[in-house]
Amino acid sequence: MKINISGLSEGAHQYERSGSAGEVGFGPNFIGDVLANITLEKSTHQIVATVTASVKGVFICDRCASEFSDSVKTRFTVVFTWEQTEETVEDDDFRILRKDENEIDFSSFVNEYLTLSVPLKLLCKNNCVIPEHIQAKQESVDPRWEKLRILKQTEKN
C-alpha cells in the first residue's frame, strides 16, 4: 500500500490500493484483499491523507458461537509533515517524514485502524439469540469459575 510522494504537486490526489490481508499484516482470521481508497492533499508543509479501507474477517459469534464472516470498514486521517520543530511530537495521526522519504506505506495505518474497527461485540446477526443448550449451560456455571476452568484446562493441555 505504498504511494510515491516525490514530486507530488499541491492539491488533492486520489489512489486506490489493495493487498492481501496477509500482506497488510493481518492474521489468518482476515481473508481476501484489503481495499483502501486514499486521498492525499498536499500543501506546502504537509500532506493530509484521508483513508477509507475495508477487509473481510472471520469471527466467532459471541452469542451462538457459530463462525461468520463480515466486512470491517474504517475511515481515518493522518497528517504527514516534514517540518521538525521543538514542539512537534509524533502520535498516531501525526507523522514526521524524513527529508529523503519519498514513499509512504499505508499498510500499518490501515492494519491498525481496521483492527480498531472490529466491533467489541461480535454477533453473526443483530438479532442472534443464544441457543437453548448453550443458555442452559451458561446459567448453571458462574462465568468467573468458567474462566478458571478453561484456564486450568489449557494448562493441562
Report the interface residues with Zn ion, using CB under 5 A: 61, 63-64, 124, 128
Q: What angle is formed at CA 114 by the lines to CA 81 and CA 28, rounded to 5 degrees? A: 125
Mention every residue, 6+ apart, whose C-beta is less than 8 A from residue 2. Answer: 17, 103, 104, 105, 106, 107
The residue whose Cβ lies closest to Zn ion is 61
Q: Which is nearer to Zn ion, 8 or 128 (CB)?
A: 128
How many C-beta neighbours within 10 Å does residue 65 have? 11
Q: Which is nearer to Zn ion, 1 or 72 (CB)?
A: 72
Smallest gap from Cβ 150 to Zn ion, in A, equals 20
Smallest gap from Cβ 135 to Zn ion, in A, equals 13
The helix/strand count (H/E) of the chain reads as 3, 7
Structural contact between residues 22 and 34, judged by C-beta atoms closer than 8 angstroms: no
Q: Which is nearer to Zn ion, 49 or 124 (CB)?
A: 124
Smallest gap from Cβ 134 to Zn ion, in A, equals 10
Smallest gap from Cβ 65 to Zn ion, in A, equals 7
